Chains A and B, each alone.
Chain A
């Protein structure tokens, strides 16, 4: 029986691979295959993440043999952070001094699974074209370029493995063609084993393990929203909304997340109470832009891995209903 499953897996790998190879004519098809391959294949590798001046090597093990996705991510440089995920459930282990903080989260798209399964949202905001073939981490990668149709997002470049379809590299760049964030495998292998012995954290018994403090994510009673964003940059739509109590803040903060399928922006609004120093101004840090403003007695902060124009427009077109 096991041999049968394995055989089927191998066949499906080949099928995916051939499809990716044949699809070189249609760049959207290459991206579609990349999105699928990142979730369906079982692979292990090391990639390097670069943002601003910082860089980190990350080891990823991803397995999917029909019963769902399992992944383990270990940050190899600096603090030995570890992430284990099963389906949409994610557990993060972050050593901090003498402790290890355990966080539970809902899953997010992460390299190499950065592309959404449905590309329709991306198609409305980006133009696509094929680039050349480049060798990355010992494998051949087909480059696909997504150029923004307006000034509200970065350019994205993806390199998909010619054989397996999986993303080998991804990069975002601003309008001056300066790299913003980059991920690139320098080692990648497909796994045929179904062993799950890798799916456990590396425990340091001398450290104390604690759950993250309960106050951090506590949701607050939802108040009626008295404002709206009048001119949301085109292509962005609301994907999440949460009102929560933040430690050290007397009033709840509302966070709204917008996404165009690739890029995402968060809008924070909270009442500006007496004694709070208002934040005003714009700043940038790596790929991230911030814009803070005070409107009708509210502190507004917009943050995202998007160009300055996007955060500025969202913050400046908030309209409070009287």
Chain B
């Protein structure tokens, strides 16, 4: 069924022939999630301007300004906000660990093992470096912060 949803998004199936699929997508939560996912991926790959950061910011601002309506219909809009925030929160958490280690290090006059500094403190810088360097395969294969936060 999911393959069929993908095919419909890619316009490999015509809408006229897939009325049953459309009905299924509307009735099943899993299928409607797949429908959204395939569209998101398709838009990314085609370089859709919708995902330019300024527009995202604008939408986020509008979402914040909107009053929270405690009605079932508003559920979807409110839902987006916490997912984005949780990513930001995890980045902040990694950096907080970094600072803690650094402060300890400063207090002990740099007696901490160098490897610890590299792994904990510098990951944010390493990641920024890897993502900007003209030739850096490591970013695609084994980015610094990901291997750390997986633990």
Interface residues of A (CB under 8 A from B): 49, 51, 54, 56, 58, 73, 75, 78-79, 81, 83-84, 86, 89, 91-92, 94, 96, 99, 101-102, 104-105, 108-111, 114, 116, 181, 183, 200-201, 203, 205-218, 239-240, 242, 246-248, 255, 257, 259, 262, 264-266, 268, 277-285, 288, 290, 292, 301, 303-305
Q: Which B residues touch A89, using CB under 8 A?
A: 47
- How distant is the Cα of A301 from the Cα of B98 in the complex, in angstroms? 14
Q: Which B residues touch A183, using CB under 8 A?
A: 137
A111 touches B137 (CB 8 A): yes
Q: Which A residues touch B44, using CB under 8 A?
A: 91, 102, 104, 211
CB interface residues, B 22-36, toward A, < 8 Å = 30, 33-34
A102 touches B2 (CB 8 A): no
Across the two chains, which residue of chain A brings its CB closest to B128?
A255
Chain B facing A: main interface SS: helix
In-complex Cβ contact of B91 among A99, A102, A200, A248 (8 A): A248
Q: Which A residues touch B95, using CB under 8 A?
A: 247-248
Q: Which A residues touch B87, using CB under 8 A?
A: 99, 101, 210, 212-213
B92 at the interface (CB under 8 A from A): yes
Q: Which B residues touch A284, using CB under 8 A?
A: 114-115, 118
- In the complex with contacts A210-B87, A218-B53, A257-B132, A290-B118 CB distance below 8 A: yes
B99 touches A110 (CB 8 A): no
Total number of B residues with any Cβ neighbor in A under 8 Å: 60
- How distant is the Cα of A247 from the Cα of B117 in the complex, in angstroms? 20
B150 touches A79 (CB 8 A): yes
CB<8 Å pairs between A and B, sample of 7: A58-B141, A84-B45, A92-B140, A247-B92, A257-B132, A264-B134, A284-B118
